Amino acid sequence: MRRYKKGTAKSGRGGRVKSRKQAIAIGLSKARKKGKKVPEKASKRKASKKKASKKKTSKKTSRRKSAKR
């Protein structure tokens, strides 16, 4: 992890990492491949939030009032 923070880490075919964000992303992807416990990707988090919000809204609209006689 020290290499990633310093900016001397290498990615792919030996090219140096350009930014700290890029280094963190590489480190996280390597950890995921090894099976370590790592937070989900941001894109997956957004998708799961959308699904959850859809479920909440669909439950509210599905109720109908019964007809009074």
Is 35 a domain residue? yes
Q: In this structure, is residue 48 part of a structural domain?
A: yes
Q: Mapping DSSP to helix (H, G, I), strand (E, B) and coil, where does residue 10 land?
A: strand
Are the C-beta atoms of residues 12 and 29 closer than 8 Å to each other?
Answer: no
Q: Is residue 61 part of a domain?
A: no
The rounded distance, in Å, linking the Cα atoms of 33 and 37 is 10
Total tally of structural domains belonging to the chain? 1
Residue 33, domain member (yes or no): yes
CA dist., res. 63 & res. 48, Å (int)? 24
Question: Taking residues 55-62, what's their average pLDDT?
Answer: 59
Domain that holds residue 35: 2-55
pLDDT tier for residue 58 given thresholds of 50, 70 and 90? low
Q: What is the pLDDT of residue 1?
A: 62
Global pTM reads 0.44
Query: How many CB atoms are located within 10 Å of the residue 57 CB?
Result: 9
pLDDT tens digits along 1-45? 666 656 667 666 667 777 888 888 888 888 888 998 888 877 776
